[in-house]
Amino acid sequence: MWLRKLYWLLIKPFLVVRDVKLECLLGPLPPILRYLKAFIIRKAVALFYRNKPITRHPCNGDEEQYPNKISSFSKALPHDELGHVNVNAYERYIDILDSGKPKRFEELRLGSVRKLVNPQAAYAYELIGPDSHQLVTPSAPKFSSAESAAEMVELYWQALTRDVPFEEYDNHPLTIAAARELSTLSDFRGPKANGRVTPETLFRGDVSGVLVGPYVSQFLWKDVPYVSATLEQRYQTTLPCDDHLTNYRDWLAVQNGQLPPTQNRFDPEPRYIRNGRNLGEYVHNDITIEDGVTPALILLSYGDQALDRGNSYLNSSSQEGFATFGRPHVLDFVTKAARPALEAAWFQKWLVHRRLRPEEFGGRIHNKLKGRANYPIHPDVLASEALALTFEKHGSYLLPQAYEEGCPTHPAYPAGHATFIGAMVTMLKAFFNESFIIPDPVLASSDGLSLLPYGGELTVGGELNKLAFNISLGRDASGVHYRSDGVSLMLGEEIAIAILRDYRKTYNEDFRGFSLTKFDGTKIEV
Write the secondary structure of 77-90 as one string of H (helix), E (strand) and C (coil): CCECCCCCECHHHH
Report strand pairing: 229-231 vs 442-444. Answer: unpaired
In whole angstroms, give the CA distance from residue 147 to residue 123.
31
Q: Where are the beta strands (DSSP E) in 74-223?
A: none
Give pLDDT tens digits for 58-69: 999 999 999 999
Q: How confident is the model at residue 523 (pLDDT cuts 50, 70, 90)?
A: very high
Q: What are phi and psi of 498, to 5 degrees?
A: -65, -40
Q: State how far Cα 392 lies from the chain centre.
A: 33
The three-state secondary structure class of 464 is helix
In whole angstroms, how far apart are CA 460 and each of 324, 334, 366, 496, 517?
22, 16, 43, 18, 11
The answer to whether residue 12 scores a pLDDT higher than 90 is no
- On average, the pLDDT of the chain sits at 96
The three-state secondary structure class of 374 is coil
> Which range (11-20, 313-322, 339-348, 429-438) has the least confidence?
11-20
The answer to whether residue 417 scores a pLDDT higher than 80 is yes
Superfamily of domain 124-525, CATH level 4: Vanadium-containing Chloroperoxidase, domain 2 (1.10.606.10)
Domain residue ranges in the chain: 124-525
Q: Where are the beta strands (DSSP E) in 11-60?
A: none
Q: How much is the average pLDDT of 15-33?
A: 75
Q: 120 with 102: CB under 8 angstroms? A: yes
CA atoms within 13 A on the CB side of 54: 0
Q: What are phi and psi of 144, to 5 degrees?
A: -90, 0
Q: How much is the average pLDDT of 483-500?
A: 98
Q: What are phi and psi of 101, to 5 degrees?
A: -80, 125
Give yes or no: 417 in active site.
yes
Q: What is the pLDDT of residue 16?
A: 47
Which amino acid is located at 505 in the chain?
K
In whole angstroms, give the CA distance from residue 295 to residue 458.
14
Give pLDDT tens digits for 160-212: 999 999 999 999 999 999 999 999 999 999 999 999 999 999 999 999 999 99
The answer to whether residue 234 scores a pLDDT higher than 50 is yes
Q: What is the pLDDT of residue 3?
A: 53
Q: What is the pLDDT of residue 6?
A: 55
Q: What is the pLDDT of residue 139?
A: 98
Q: How confident is the model at residue 11 (pLDDT cuts 50, 70, 90)?
A: low
The answer to whether residue 7 scores a pLDDT higher than 80 is no
Give pLDDT tens digits for 84-136: 999 999 999 999 999 999 999 999 999 999 999 999 999 999 999 999 999 99
Q: State how far Cα 145 lies from the chain centre.
A: 24
CA atoms within 13 A on the CB side of 364: 27
* DSSP characters over 57-115: ----SHHHH-TT-TTB--TTS-B-TTSPBPHHHHHHHHHHHHH--GGGGGG---SSS--
Q: Which of 133, 353, 417, 481 is catalytic?
A: 417
Q: What is the pTM assigned to this prediction?
A: 0.95
Q: 455 with 477: CB under 8 angstroms? A: no
The answer to whether residue 17 scores a pLDDT higher than 50 is no
CA atoms within 13 A on the CB side of 159: 33
In whole angstroms, give the CA distance from residue 116 to residue 340.
20
Q: What is the pLDDT of residue 34?
A: 95
The three-state secondary structure class of 138 is coil
In whole angstroms, give the CA distance from residue 471 to residue 290.
11
Residue among 149, 142, 206 nearest 181 (CA): 149
Helices (H) and strands (E) in the chain, counts: 17, 6
Q: State how far Cα 341 lies from the chain centre.
A: 9
Which amino acid is located at 274 in the chain?
R
The answer to whether residue 1 scores a pLDDT higher than 90 is no
Give yes or no: 133 in active site.
no
In whole angstroms, give the CA distance from residue 308 to residue 515.
8
Q: What is the pLDDT of residue 248?
A: 98
Q: How confident is the model at residue 304 (pLDDT cuts 50, 70, 90)?
A: very high
Q: How confident is the model at residue 5 (pLDDT cuts 50, 70, 90)?
A: low
In whole angstroms, give the CA distance from residue 198 to residue 478.
21
Q: Which of 133, 353, 366, 410 is catalytic?
A: 410
Q: What is the pLDDT of residue 23?
A: 78
In whole angstroms, give the CA distance from residue 16 to residue 5.
19
Q: What is the pLDDT of residue 215?
A: 98
In whole angstroms, how far apart are CA 389 and each of 88, 157, 180, 455, 474?
37, 9, 15, 36, 22
In whole angstroms, give the CA distance from residue 126 to residue 347.
13
In whole angstroms, give the CA distance from residue 71 to residue 479.
17
Which amino acid is located at 132 in the chain?
S
Upstream peptide bond of 414 is cis (omega within 30 degrees of 0)? yes
The three-state secondary structure class of 516 is strand
Q: State how far Cα 82 lies from the chain centre.
A: 31
In whole angstroms, how far apart are CA 299 and each of 169, 222, 432?
29, 11, 8
What's the residue count for the chain? 526
The answer to whether residue 321 scores a pLDDT higher than 70 is yes
Q: What is the pLDDT of residue 226?
A: 97
* DSSP characters over 227-286: TTEEE---B--BPTT--B--SHHHHHHHHTTPPPSS---B-SS-B---BHHHHHHHHHH-
In whole angstroms, give the CA distance from residue 286 to residue 369.
36
